[in-house]
A = this chain, B = another copy of it.
């Protein structure tokens, strides 16, 4: 990617209407564009990051045998009335509109109801189970306040997974495999050390649900963390009986701010009974399907990653989600060698940004920091005189001169 061709540009001024650090930095670096509060377009660099996060999640989902599909945004009123989730008094984030014939429609803020209704047509017998389906969906939620940047949007991308099992035992096994898969996702996007499995309220359906909470001051949740056990408990269920049950001691807990990047939930048979989702078991008896629901906030994750790693210079991306691995700053006298390196890296399938614009060296180095690509390579007459390419990791201050062979070796091993 050539910065001379990329239409987005960095901007020095902090967006005045934006209080969240993640959105400020992402807007300044040209990753996202604010359409209105809580509603952000994904610009080319931002779309790349989101697609990388999606790929990491997709791989884990597919490895669990889950099948990807894509439900619709438009929602039928009748369907949501069955589970008492249509009325604005019950669910206060609906966007609603009307068809030409005056029939009310909603815009999907969640998809348990329509997916389960759709699955009802396919899951008739125990032979059709288990079935586990997921999607990456743009959800619409009419939030009253949307002040956390892309960490809480009115329009945002979510991965939602729904599991349909014949029994509690089959459900529990899958549920636990999702816990492991989610922990791998958060590790793979770079948040492994900061993200903790957290016990939370199970509502009317089950004793607990599980959240995945990432430590950040920008988070909207308060959790109580046992660092040695790597388990946390949400404020809402911080009670002595719960602590005893999950094996935690109040004295070992640390009160911390966190953001919920994923959550998983067992519905038992309650929702299936509401939605008339039954199957015939081996004896021909009618039984309710056991339902689970599992979410990861994809665009929220992008925001949390920014919050967790950014420094005074700008964004710092973990390698796995960075829109490129290398950022070449072509300075005076290094133009030709920069071009050669750019071509060579592309040929080696190393995703590379080259700053080939006619601007000052200071601006180029500033922009490299703002964009947050893991490795910066400065090529100038000075670096060439000193033996090659000046490299610097985005997370470090120290620079180092290496020759091309060393550089290519380093990047080959960097993943």
**Contacts known (A35-B76, A76-B35, A154-B74); A69 close to B42, Cβ less than 8 A:** yes
Q: Which of B47, B72, B74, B76 contacts A68 (CB 8 A)?
A: B47
Is the pair B142, A99 in contact by a Cβ cutoff of 8 Å?
yes
Is the pair B65, A42 in contact by a Cβ cutoff of 8 Å?
no
Contact with B along A45-82 (1 / 0, CB 8 A): 01100000000000000000101111111111000000
Q: Which of A114-122, A185-193, A259-267, A385-393 contacts B (4 or more CB under 8 A)?
A: A114-122
Q: Within the complex, what minimum Cβ distance (angstroms) separates A12 from chain B?
A: 14
Chain B hits for A9, CB < 8 A = 122
Is the pair B69, A41 in contact by a Cβ cutoff of 8 Å?
yes
Is the pair B140, A73 in contact by a Cβ cutoff of 8 Å?
yes
Is the pair B70, A47 in contact by a Cβ cutoff of 8 Å?
yes
Asked if A208 is at the interface of the complex by the 8 Å CB criterion, the answer is no
Count of residues in A whose CB is under 8 Å from the partner chain: 50
Is the pair A40, B72 in contact by a Cβ cutoff of 8 Å?
yes
Is the pair B96, A7 in contact by a Cβ cutoff of 8 Å?
no
Q: Within the complex, what minimum Cβ distance (angstroms) separates A47 from chain B?
A: 5
Contact with B along A141-173 (1 / 0, CB 8 A): 011100000000011000000000000000000
Chain B hits for A128, CB < 8 A = 7
Is the pair B71, A41 in contact by a Cβ cutoff of 8 Å?
yes
Cα distance, A69 to B50, chains bound together (Å): 11
* Residue on B nearest A8 in the bound complex, by CB: B122
* Residue on B nearest A41 in the bound complex, by CB: B71
Q: Within the complex, what minimum Cβ distance (angstroms) separates A154 from chain B?
A: 6
In the complex, besides A39-B74, A47-B69, A138-B138, 18 extra interface pairs with C-beta distance below 8 angstroms are: A7-B123, A7-B131, A35-B72, A35-B75, A36-B76, A40-B72, A41-B69, A41-B71, A42-B69, A44-B133, A46-B69, A47-B68, A72-B155, A73-B138, A74-B140, A95-B97, A96-B97, A100-B144
**Selected A-B contacts with CB under 8 Å, 27 pairs:** A5-B65, A5-B67, A6-B67, A7-B119, A7-B131, A7-B133, A8-B122, A9-B122, A35-B71, A35-B76, A35-B114, A35-B118, A36-B74, A36-B76, A36-B105, A39-B72, A39-B74, A41-B70, A41-B71, A42-B69, A44-B67, A44-B133, A47-B69, A74-B154, A95-B105, A97-B142, A100-B142
